[in-house]
Amino acid sequence: MIYLYPETATTVAVNLKTVGNLTFSYPLLSEGWNVTAHPDGTLTCNGKNYPYLFWEADQLVQHPFGSNTFEGFNVAGKDAVAFLEEKLTLMGFNDHERTDFITFWGPQLAANEFNNVTFQFNETCDQYATLTIEPKPQNVNRVYMIWRKADASVLNQTITPQDLPVLNRSGFDVLEWGGIEVDDVEL
């Protein structure tokens, strides 16, 4: 999901180039999205209002959990919502963004006994898609959660807790968040 927060109502062109096949977008992405973005985050496209731009693609992911040691978190399914609330708040997601993220990913994490979770940021997300935005925002914050279902064997893993950045939300600010579930078949 892509959120745009200009300081004044601004006509914005957002171009997305995915790695892999784009499977869904809303509003429909053709040659890019051309929207009027408002300071409260409302986006107007073709006469309709939207809270964000959405895209999804089929993609291959470099598996970050290939060994028993990784940087990230083990998250019990029963603790998924509290974990996401804490980490997203720490990074600087607002209430609306945090709610969207949790209602999208929370049920999937909560359905598992345990999960391995790691986050990727900004330029690292270019391996999934690139964004070009005109006029250029002061800050583009990209956050992708990569996760997999795990079992009790995660209690034997050595995990380095991941340092999460506080996002710079000043000026014309853009937040894009996404995520990818991987499974052991993708190792």
Quick: pLDDT tens for 21-32: 999 999 999 889
Place of tokens 């005109």: 134
Supply the pLDDT for residue 86.
Answer: 98
CA dist., res. 109 & res. 150, Å (int): 10
Cα separation, 129 vs 10, whole angstroms: 24
Q: What is the 3-state secondary structure (H, E, C) of 122-173?
A: HHHHHHCEEEEEECCCCEEEEEEEEEEEECHHHHHCEEEECCCCCCCCCCCE
Nearest to residue 117, comparing CAs of 151, 73, 71?
Answer: 73
Let me know how long the chain is: 187
Residues 6+ apart with CB under 8 A from 63: 182, 186, 187
Query: Is residue 178 helix, strand or coil?
Result: strand
Intervals of the chain under pLDDT 50 = 185-187
pLDDT at site 186: 41
Tokens (6 digits) for 58? 């089929």
Question: Which pLDDT score, from 0 to 100, does residue 185 have?
Answer: 47
CA nearest neighbour of 146 among 62, 58, 24, 69: 62
How many other CB atoms are found less than 10 A from the CB of residue 68? 11
Whole-number pLDDT of residue 96: 97
